[in-house]
Amino acid sequence: MRFRCAVLDDFQNVAVTSADWSVLGDRVEVVSFGEHFASEDELAAALADFDCVVTLRERVPFPASLLNRLPRLRLLIASGMRNSVIDHAAAKAGGVTVCGTESSGTPPVELTWALLLGLARGIVEENNALRAGGPWQSTVGADLHGRTLGLLGLGRIGSRVAQIGLAFGMEVVAWSQNLTEERADEAGVRLAPSKEELLASSDFVSVHLSLSDRTRGLIGAAELSLLKPTAYLINTSRAAIVDQDALLAALHEGRIAGAGVDVFDVEPLPADHPMRSAPRLLATPHLGYVSRANYARYYGQAVEDIQAYLDGAPVRLLG
């Protein structure tokens, strides 16, 4: 029987053109799905006849309840080398090999600055007004030079965001539970003595932390109240780090100048979700990892993972 591979959430219909799947020859049949399956029942029905599934990031959970409904599944490939929504123990118990792919930190760094600059200079509002024959110059841009950029997290992505902030002439401060003064000095930034001090002193705050029990809900109503009314919050990391309801309240009440968000509690966002219509919000549909080079890496290494599995020597094992 031919080995069948399903590619999930191929919204742009580019999975099969982003890599050379022909190296798999006639051994593998690849089927990409452009629609998102929101429920476990939909997933179980769609994936019942597949030996392999390629899933993007952590959008689609694979708990034991779903894995147990996919008896044919033998190989599960996730983009990135960490995936918290796959039940690795259940996969192992069911004989499912879980593999990952490498991921570049460059696209989320670039998107972070696209959101920050878009907010600071009112790009969307001014563009919409210009195209619609609206007012000529209706906003006054927020300066970056000489302002303070606060980074929650100074890892692989946060440190690169810091470099760009320094190039703009910003003062960059950073904080996380494990950040040391030595590490901050290496990155050329100041270590904030506390999360609260960082929030209160920053003109722009950008989140670059991994999601864990310690970071879930790290920014709630109390933390948002510390921000200046002229401050902006950017989150391209994980939605659950920032309390979504508290952020919506701050935006509606005008307690902060604005927010740039690329990650959400539910993805894709329902048509009537309040994040779609919130004021002072520049939002993108989780584009942080969506770039040509990153897709070439994701799908190219997914092909390698499949080939290695079929040859009996799996690579980039997870869990």
Could you write out the DSSP letters of every residue in the chain? --EEEEE---TTS-TTTSS-GGGGGGGEEEEE--S---SHHHHHHHHTT-SEEEE-TTSS-B-HHHHTT-TT--EEEESSS--TTB-HHHHHHTT-EEEE----SHHHHHHHHHHHHHHHTTHHHHHHHHHTT--S----PPP-TT-EEEEE--SHHHHHHHHHHHHTT-EEEEE-TT--HHHHHHTT-EEPS-HHHHHHH-SEEEE----STTTTT-B-HHHHTTS-TT-EEEE-S-GGGB-HHHHHHHHHTTSSSEEEE---SSSSPPTT-GGGT-TTEEE-SS-TT-SHHHHHHHHHHHHHHHHHHHTT---SB--
Query: What pLDDT does residue 260 have?
Result: 98
* 223 a catalytic residue: no
Strands 75-78 and 52-55, sheet pairing: parallel
The pTM assigned to this predicted structure is 0.94
- What tokens does 242 get? 């920032």
Report the percentage of the chain scoring pLDDT > 90: 97
Q: Which residues contact 112 (CB under 8 A, 6 or more apart)?
A: 157, 161, 206, 208, 234, 236, 260, 288
* 286 a catalytic residue: yes
> Which of the pair, 58 or 5, is modelled with greater confidence?
5
Contact (CB, 8 A) for 280 and 233: no
Q: How many CA atoms lie within 13 A of 143 on its CB side?
A: 6
Query: What pLDDT does residue 225 have?
Result: 98
The stretch 97-123 carries a mean pLDDT of: 97
* 40 a catalytic residue: no
Q: Is residue 6's pLDDT more than 90?
A: yes
Read off the pLDDT of residues 157-198 as tens digits, 9 standing for 90 and up: 999 999 999 999 999 999 999 999 999 999 999 999 999 999
Query: What pLDDT does residue 132 have?
Result: 97
Tally the residues of the chain: 319
Q: Quote the mean pLDDT of the chain.
A: 97
Read off the pLDDT of residues 233-281 as tens digits, 9 standing for 90 and up: 999 999 999 999 999 999 999 999 999 999 999 999 999 999 999 999 9
Give the separation between CA 65 and CA 252, rounded to whole angstroms. 39
Tell me which residue of 204, 219, 197 sits closest to 256, measured CA to CA: 204
Query: What pLDDT does residue 203 have?
Result: 98
Q: How confident is the model at residue 80 (pLDDT cuts 50, 70, 90)?
A: very high
The stretch 80-109 carries a mean pLDDT of: 96
- What tokens does 139 get? 């906003």
Read off the pLDDT of residues 194-214 as tens digits, 9 standing for 90 and up: 999 999 999 999 999 999 999
Q: How confident is the model at residue 300 (pLDDT cuts 50, 70, 90)?
A: very high
Distance from the Cα of residue 251 to its chain's centroid:
21
Catalytic residue among 88, 267, 273, 280: 267
Q: Is residue 13's pLDDT more than 90?
A: yes
Q: Which residues contact 217 (CB under 8 A, 6 or more apart)?
A: 240, 241, 243
Give the separation between CA 319 and CA 180, rounded to whole angstroms. 29
Q: How confident is the model at residue 1 (pLDDT cuts 50, 70, 90)?
A: confident
Give the separation between CA 10 and CA 298, rounded to whole angstroms. 12
Over its C-alpha atoms, the chain yields an Rg (Å, rounded) of 21
Angle of CA points 86, 270, 250, to nearest 5°: 95
Q: Which residues contact 131 (CB under 8 A, 6 or more apart)?
A: none
Q: How confident is the model at residue 57 (pLDDT cuts 50, 70, 90)?
A: confident
